[in-house]
Amino acid sequence: MVRLPAMALALTASGAVAQGVPEIDVSALAQMQSINAGEQAQMAEQAQISATLTQNLGSRTDQIAALQDTINMLRGSSAMTTDLEGLDGMVASAVYSIEDNNPYAGRLFGDARETIESMIAQTAVKFGNDPALAAIGINAVEFRCWFQALVKQESRFQIGARSPKAAFGLTQIIPGTAQDLGIYPAYYTDPQLQLDGGARYLMQQIRRFKSMPLALAAYNAGPGAVMKYDGIPPYRETQDYVKKISGFYNTYAAQISGADQTGTLALEDISISEMSNISDAAMSYAGYSQEILIQSLSRLQEILRRISLSASAKEAMDLNSYAKAEVTRMAGVLTRLMAVKRKAEWAQYGMLFAAYARDREFFEGVTR
Catalytic residues: 154
Contacts (Cβ under 8 Å, ≥6 apart) of 289: 102, 333, 336, 337
Closest by CA position to 96, among listed 340, 343, 342, 335: 335
Answer whether 271's CB lies under 8 Å from 358's CB.
no
Answer whether 54's CB lies under 8 Å from 35's CB.
no
* C-alpha distance from residue 1 to each of 4, 6, 286 (Å): 10, 15, 100
Alpha carbons 333 and 105: distance in angstroms, whole number: 12
**Backbone conformation region of residue 336, classed left if phi is above 0, alpha if psi is from -120 to 50, else beta:** alpha
Answer whether 315's CB lies under 8 Å from 355's CB.
no
DSSP-assigned beta bridge partners for residue 168 = 162, 173
Closest by CA position to 119, among listed 39, 52, 191: 191
DSSP 106: G
DSSP-assigned beta bridge partners for residue 33 = none
* Position 307, amino acid: I
* C-alpha distance from residue 266 to each of 106, 248, 250 (Å): 23, 11, 14
Answer whether 151's CB lies under 8 Å from 178's CB.
no
Closest by CA position to 151, among listed 121, 106, 185, 187: 121
User: What does DSSP say about strands 90-91 and 86-87: parallel, antiparallel, or unpaired?
Assistant: antiparallel
**Residue 85, φ and ψ in degrees, nearest 5:** -70, -20
